[in-house]
Structure 1
Amino acid sequence: MTRLSSLFWLLPLTQLFAQAPTYTNSLGMEFVLIKPGKMIVGRFQPTYPKPGEATQGRGLNWTAEDYKLAEKLATQDASPGFPVTISRPYYIGKFEVTQAQWQQVMGSNPSVFQGSKVSGDAGQHPVENVSWQDAQAFLKKLNQLEKGKTYRLPTEFEWEYAARAGADDEIAWSEIRQVAQMGTRTTNKVGQKKPNAWGLYDTLGNVWEWVQDYYNEKMFADPKPPRSGKQHVLKGASFVGDVKNATYTTHAAGPGNGWDVGFRVVMEAR
Structure 2
Amino acid sequence: METSAELGMTPIAAGRVVLSDRRTQRSWPADLAPYELSAFPVTQDRYAQVTGLWPSSVRGERLPVEGVSWHDAVRFCNALSRAEGLAPAYRLDSGAETVEWDAAADGYRLPTEAEWEYACRAGTEQPRYGPLDEIAWHRGNSQERMHEVGGRRPNAWGLHDMLGNVWEWCWDLYDAEVYGSYRVLRGGGWFDERWSCRASVRRRSHPTFRIDDVGFRVARTAGR
TM-score (norm 2): 0.80
TM-score (norm 1): 0.67
1:79-158 aligned within 5 A: 81-86=27-32, 88-115=33-60, 123-148=61-86, 149-158=106-115
- The answer as to whether partners of 2:78 and 2:107 remain within 8 angstroms in 1 is no
Q: CA deviation at 1:155?
A: 0.6
1:1-270 aligned within 5 A: 25=3, 28-42=6-20, 81-86=27-32, 88-115=33-60, 123-148=61-86, 149-171=106-128, 175-183=131-139, 184=142, 185-216=144-175, 229-255=180-206, 258-270=211-223
- The answer as to whether partners of 1:35 and 1:90 remain within 8 angstroms in 2 is yes
Q: CA deviation at 1:231?
A: 1.0
SS in 2 for 1:103: helix
Which amino acid letter does the alignment assign opposite residue 230 of structure 1? S
How far apart, CA to CA, are the structure 2 residues paired with 1:154 and 1:97? 13
How far apart, CA to CA, are the structure 2 residues paired with 1:43 and 1:128? 25
How far apart, CA to CA, are the structure 1 residues paired with 2:14 and 2:3? 22
Q: 1:231 to 1:29 in 2, by over 3 A?
A: same
Which amino acid letter does the alignment assign opposite residue 137 of structure 1? R
Q: 1:27 to 1:102 in 2, by over 3 A?
A: farther
Q: 1:167 to 1:232 in 2, by over 3 A?
A: same
SS in 2 for 1:152: coil
Segments of structure 2 that go 5 or more residues without pairing to the other structure are 87-105
Aligned-pair identity in percent equals 36
**Which of the pair is proportionally richer in strand?**
2
Q: CA deviation at 1:264?
A: 0.2
Q: CA deviation at 1:27?
A: 8.6
RMSD: 2.4
- The answer as to whether partners of 1:96 and 1:264 remain within 8 angstroms in 2 is yes
Deviation per CA, 1:69-109, whole angstroms, max 9, x where unpaired? xxxxxxxx9958333221x1111010000000001000110
Q: CA deviation at 1:210?
A: 0.3
- The answer as to whether partners of 1:27 and 1:101 remain within 8 angstroms in 2 is no
Q: CA deviation at 1:257?
A: 6.2
Q: 1:93 to 1:26 in 2, by over 3 A?
A: closer
Question: After the TM superposition, which segments of 4 or more aligned residues of structure 1 sit over 4 Å from their partners?
Answer: 77-80
Asked which structure has the greater CA Rg, the reply is: 1
How far apart, CA to CA, are the structure 2 residues paired with 1:83 and 1:110? 36
Segments of structure 1 that go 5 or more residues without pairing to the other structure are 1-23, 45-76, 116-122, 218-225
Which amino acid letter does the alignment assign opposite residue 221 of structure 2? E
**Which of the pair is proportionally richer in helix?**
1
How far apart, CA to CA, are the structure 2 residues paired with 1:138 and 1:240? 25
- The answer as to whether partners of 2:17 and 2:117 remain within 8 angstroms in 1 is no
Q: 1:108 to 1:79 in 2, by over 3 A?
A: closer
Which amino acid letter does the alignment assign opposite residue 218 of structure 2? V
